[in-house]
Amino acid sequence: MSSKQQLNTLYHCTYNLTYHLVLVTKYRRPCISAAMLQRLEAIFRQTVHKWECEVLEFNGEPDHVHLLLSLNPKVALSTFINNLKTVASRRIRREFAAELKPVYTKPVFWSRTYYILTCGGAPLSVIKQYIESQAGAE
């Protein structure tokens, strides 16, 4: 990734909207395995693509994940995040049911809360390096 940020365009605007999103597991339980982390990345990339947006970087630890996202101005942020969490939770709970059964008795995966930060102030290379340096799930 170059240090100069690329501008995107729609028919009516030019934009560069980059966000750092952190999603935490319910009760911050360390239940994300390496296989689950890999699957979460695929689910997030697929879902984000449907919103006409892009995952620039992804990584996580057993109790949370980081996403560096490039979004477009048509996206309602809270609706987008709710959809992202719902889709990922549903698929992960279905695909890793045996692994998650001892951890969660109710059909949950993510905490209701999330952390979102616009990335206009710091160079993307610094944020990308930070996400890359996060310890992977074991």
Mean pLDDT of the 8-34 span: 93
pLDDT tens profile 49-63: 999 999 999 999 999
Domain count, the chain: 1
42 DSSP assignment: H
Q: What is the mean pLDDT of the chain?
A: 91
Q: What's the pTM value of the predicted model, to 2 decimals? A: 0.85
* Contact criterion met (CB below 8 Å) for 69 and 113: no
How does pLDDT run across 47-105, given as a tens digit for each residue?
999 999 999 999 999 999 999 999 999 999 999 999 999 999 999 999 999 999 999 98
Range of the domain at 98: 13-132
* CATH number of the domain where residue 24 is located: 3.30.70.1290
